[in-house]
Amino acid sequence: MESFSCSSQLDKSVRQQYMSLPQGDKCQITYIWIDGTGEGLRNKTRTLDSEPRCIKDIPEWNFDGSSTYQAEGSNSDMYLIPVQMFRDPFTLDPNKLVLCEVLKYNRLPAETNQRASCNKVMEAVKEHCMWFGMEQEYTLLGMDGHPFSWPRQGFPGPQGPYYCGVGADNVYGRDIVECHYKACLYAGVNIYGTNAEVMPSQWEFQVGPCEGIDMGDHLWVARFLLHRVCEDFGVVATLDPKPMKGNWNGAGCHTNVSTKQMREEGGLQYIEQAIEKLAKRHEEHIQVYDPHGGQDNMRRLTGRHETSSIKDFSAGVANRGASIRVPRQVAQDRKGYFEDRRPSANCDPYAVTKAIANTCLIATEEKE
C-alpha cells in the first residue's frame, strides 16, 4: 500500500509556471461547505468579474446535494449561502475562500447546518461578549491508513518524548504543520498556535480567542486548510477521537470559554457558577460533543490518557483528568476562563459552542 497519494508525487515546479500567470481583473472564489456527514468538507470554485470587498459581494450558489449525502436525486439542488470570506493561500490574492451555510430546497437549514441555530444563541448572549478558543488535535496518516512515519511492522517507542518534541526520531510531519500554520495566517484565520502532541504523528493547533459565531467559522476553515495542505503532501489528516487502540492518547478539541464577567476582577465566581450549570447537563453535552451522540467519545473519554470518564462530571484546578479544568493561573488571579476537555476532535464547533452558551447563560436567564 502507498504511504503517499500519487498526486503528491507530481512535479510541483510545473504547477508554479501556471500559478504565476496573471488573471486580469477576474477573481476565483472557492465555496466551502459541510456535507451530510457533519464532518466532511466540500468545495468548488467559480469566477467573479472583480474582487469582492465584503461577503455581500459574493452571490449565493448551489450544488448537487444527492452527491454529498444531503438530498435525494429527484430534488437535489441545495443552496450555498456565503457567511465568511478569507484570502486563498493556494491561488493567492485576489482570490478568496468563502465559508457557506447550506439551505435545503425550501430554504430551511440542512440537517448538518448547525451554524444557523448556533448563530441565534450567540446573538441572544451577545452582551456577555463570550470568547472561545478551541484546541484541535488531529493525527497524520499515510494513504494506507497507518499513522504517518510509524514503523511498517510494529509501533514506535512508548509515549513520552513526542509531546512538544524535536528531532527526526520524535517528530513526524512538521513540514505539514508549518505549512498549515502559514496558510491560516495568510487566509486570516485566527490561529493562536500549534504543537506536537503526546502520540507520535499527532498534532494540535489552536484557534481563538474568537467571539460568538466566529469560533465555529474560523475552526471549520482551519480544518479545510489542514485537509487541503495535507492533500498537497499526499498525507491524510484524521480527526478520529481514538485513531489507535491501546496505550495511546486520543484526540480531543478542548474548548476554552470566558464571558466578560469571568475576565473581570472577581470573575472566578462566574466561572464556578458556569461549572455548576454544566455539571447538571453533563449527559446533554456528551450527546452533542461528537457527531455520533457520544459514541465516538466513548472510545476516548475512558478516564485514562489525560481524559475524564464519559460517565462522570468532574472539575478541578490544573487537572487534565477532569471534565472541566480551571487553569492554575486563573485560580490565582481569580478571573479568566475555564477549559471544557470533553469535546472530541471531530466535534462540530457550532454545536459545542451553542451548548456551552445555552447552558451557561440562557438556561439561567430563563429561570431568572
Give the model's confidence band at 367: pLDDT under 50 very low, under 70 low, under 90 confident, else very high.
very low
Give the model's confidence band at 124: pLDDT under 50 very low, under 70 low, under 90 confident, else very high.
very high
Burial of 301 (0-12, 13-18, 19+ CB in 10 A): buried
Task: Check pLDDT > 60 for residue 365.
Answer: no
Task: Check pLDDT > 90 for residue 213.
Answer: yes
Report the candidate in 137, 255, 259, 135 with the shortest Cα–Cα distance to residue 207: 135
Whether residue 196 is found in the same domain as residue 327: yes
14, 52, 97 from 45: Cα distances, Å: 22, 14, 9
Q: What percent of the chain has pLDDT over 70?
A: 98
Whether residue 105 is found in the same domain as residue 176: no
Q: 114-126 b/e with 16+ CB inside 10 Å = b?
A: bbbebbebbeebe
The structural domain count of the chain equals 2
Please give the model's pTM, rounded to 2 decimal places: 0.96
Task: Check pLDDT > 90 for residue 76.
Answer: no
Q: What is the extent of the structural domain holding 255?
A: 121-367
Q: The CATH number of the domain where 107 resides is what?
A: 3.10.20.70
Whether residue 127 is found in the same domain as residue 103: no
Task: Check pLDDT > 60 for residue 1.
Answer: no
Whether residue 345 is found in the same domain as residue 316: yes
Residue 361's SS3 state is helix
Whether residue 257 is found in the same domain as residue 279: yes
Residue 1 resides in a domain: no
**Range 102-128 average pLDDT:** 97
- Under 8 Å between Cβ of 292 and 310: no
Task: Check pLDDT > 60 for residue 364.
Answer: no
**334: which strand partners?**
none
